Amino acid sequence: MRVRDPKLVAALPELGALLEPGTSLAELTSLGIGGTTDLLRITKHDAIPELLNLLDAESVPYKFLGGGSNLLVGDGELPWLVLQLVSPDPDIVLEGRFAQVDAAADLGRTVTFCAKNDLGGMEGLIGVPGTVGGALRMNAGAYGMQIGSYVRQVKLYRAARRRLETLEGDQISFEYRHTSFAPDDMMLAVKLELPSKPYPEILKGIRICNEKRRASQPLGQKSAGCIFKNPPGASAGRMIDELGLKGLSVGDARVSDRHANFFVNAGKASAKDMLALTADVRARVEKSFGIILEHEVVVWNA
């Protein structure tokens, strides 16, 4: 999708939106897959409702991109504009046990920054790539913790009401890899309340989680983390492994040899390859286990 209307292009700077024409989404996603579109980088939260009203008035479809680490984007020329927040400086402000964090802040850096200030709880999230906003929307979790447990307040663009809102933690439900946010709500900032812990103790926890992750996940390769959700009471990775599917490929899309629920881009995989591989694995799991796996990765397919 290319923004060509001169009136729209001229209105963008005042709304704090920077246009980057012809951006490759393959370069903005950890899978390294995705076609091309115009990117709008947003620097002013307060101007978002006006900006989106303008895009709607001009019938320009759009999607919100976080850190691109849990995302599988379609190939070719993409039919929507992509909007991404630019993080302010500083993007994390601490006040006692509370951390006010911009949605565009890097998750790993947030975990370590809080840790260095004796605020723990998020040790399990170390090594989870992406932004705080993305982690919030998906309720990212690992090693027995999930980010939702620490959320006290969220500032967001509420798409249904077309306005910025602040929600208290108890107005939001956080479940396994799912939240009560609507798919078109845009996370802007979050206030976390974290347990006080001495830094060396947090560091110990971080090291243990890092170790476990390194031992079981293909960290150096292009992936979107786990591709399927774990069905209740079962492990997608174990089932795929039991079927002997590690190494199964379609083009350069490949089931990781290290963790069977990680599908990697081993070269120049297309979205078509990756989706053919997920469909094949899903069909085999259903046939053998009678369980239909659900994508954990968010799919933006035209």
User: For binding to ligand EPU (CB under 6 A), which residues are involved?
Assistant: 142-143, 216, 225-226, 229-230, 235-238, 241, 259-261, 296
**Quick one: 158 or 295, whose CB is closer to ligand EPU?**
295
The Cα–Cα gap between 218 and 195 comes to: 31
**Quick one: 196 or 216, whose CB is closer to ligand EPU?**
216
Catalytic annotation present for 193: no
Annotated catalytic residue within 114, 209, 254, 296: 296
The Cα–Cα gap between 64 and 264 comes to: 24
Question: Taking the complex as a whole, how short is the minimal distance between the CB of residue 97 and ligand EPU, in angstroms?
Answer: 25
Catalytic annotation present for 258: no
Question: Taking the complex as a whole, how short is the minimal distance between the CB of residue 218 and ligand EPU, in angstroms?
Answer: 10
Question: Taking the complex as a whole, how short is the minimal distance between the CB of residue 25 and ligand EPU, in angstroms?
Answer: 19
Annotated catalytic residue within 123, 226, 254, 282: 226
**Quick one: 55 or 138, whose CB is closer to ligand EPU?**
138
Computed on alpha carbons and rounded to an integer, the radius of gyration of the chain in Å comes to 20
Question: Taking the complex as a whole, how short is the minimal distance between the CB of residue 261 and ligand EPU, in angstroms?
Answer: 5
**Quick one: 1 or 219, whose CB is closer to ligand EPU?**
219
Catalytic annotation present for 286: no
The CB-nearest residue to ligand EPU is 225
Question: Taking the complex as a whole, how short is the minimal distance between the CB of residue 145 and ligand EPU, in angstroms?
Answer: 9
The Cα–Cα gap between 221 and 224 comes to: 10
Distances (CA, A) of 222 to 69, 83, 225, 241, 266: 10, 23, 9, 19, 7
Classify strands 36-42 and 17-24 as parallel, antiparallel or unpaired.
Answer: antiparallel
Residues found in the chain: 302
Taking each helix axis as running N to C, give the angle between helix 107-116 and helix 199-216, from 0 to 180 degrees, rounded to the nearest 10. 150
Question: Taking the complex as a whole, how short is the minimal distance between the CB of residue 142 and ligand EPU, in angstroms?
Answer: 4
**Quick one: 193 or 241, whose CB is closer to ligand EPU?**
241
Residue 164: how many other CB atoms lie within 10 Å: 15
**Quick one: 39 or 138, whose CB is closer to ligand EPU?**
138
Annotated catalytic residue within 177, 213, 258, 284: 177
Active site residues: 177, 226, 296
